[in-house]
Amino acid sequence: MDDALLALLKTVDTPTVCNAIEVAQGQRGFDDFTRGTMLCSAPGEAMVGYARTACIRAVTPSEEPPEVIKARRMAYYEYMAEGPRPGIAVVQDMDGSEAIGAYWGEVNTNIHKAFGLSGALTNGVMRDLGDLPEGFPVVAGSIGPSHGFVHVLDFDVKVEIFGMQVAPGALVHADRHGAVVVPEDVVPLLGDAISTLIRSEKIIFDAVKGKTLGFDEFEAVWAAFEAART
């Protein structure tokens, strides 16, 4: 991903990226995106980066010795501080729908932002919504007040966020709509695909926004739209 593509991806929303992947692949059927409704700490912001992955749990205390938990936590932080940039922390809460541990609050968001990460994606919990740092959006499964017994189980592993499988190093785009993994073979085509998508959609928008349109006119517009996408 070059600087030009990175800059472009920061300006578009995740639905646009999903549509552009279909344009690049020349077909529908791509399904590597989140399911269900997620929450975003900064609705106007999108994040893009390579996944730094981990798993946590918080409903019950760990049964491992405290020194083991502390050592793993520090190894996790070292892992998050390294790797390709831009990067996104992608953390699966293994408590799933029962998740209560707000791992993403004022402290952890500021730490991860200082590591150079661009945001966090999780099926788990966030908090401290008025105190999170600018430029570090969190897309999460829920909001809650406490971190519970949160502890790191593992990192640098494949995780699942709202039905979306994410391998370490995968290119992820996320915003208030959810998240998508960009296929590796699509990355070189993505910039042109987004431009094609925007040009083709403009044909529709110019014809219908704020206007009245009969079916015959619409048929011609739609034909031009379909031709522009291919």
Tell how strand 117-122 and strand 164-166 pair up. unpaired
CA 18 from centroid of its chain's CA atoms? 12
Instruction: Cite the annotated binding site for substrate by residue number.
Output: 127
Instruction: Tell me how far apart the alpha carbons of residues 144 and 101 are, in angstroms, rounded to a whole number.
Output: 7
Instruction: Cite the annotated binding site for Mg(2+) by residue number.
Output: 128
How far is residue 20 from each of residues 44, 50, 77, 166, 228, measured CA to CA in Å?
20, 19, 34, 19, 13
**What is the sign of the dihedral through the CA atoms of 39, 44, 46 and 52?**
negative
CA 35 from centroid of its chain's CA atoms? 12
Q: How many CB atoms lie within 10 A of CB 229?
A: 16
Phi, psi of 35, rounded to the nearest 5 degrees: -110, 150
Instruction: Tell me how far apart the alpha carbons of residues 30 and 22 are, in angstroms, rounded to a whole number.
Output: 7
Instruction: Cite the annotated binding site by residue number.
Output: 127-128
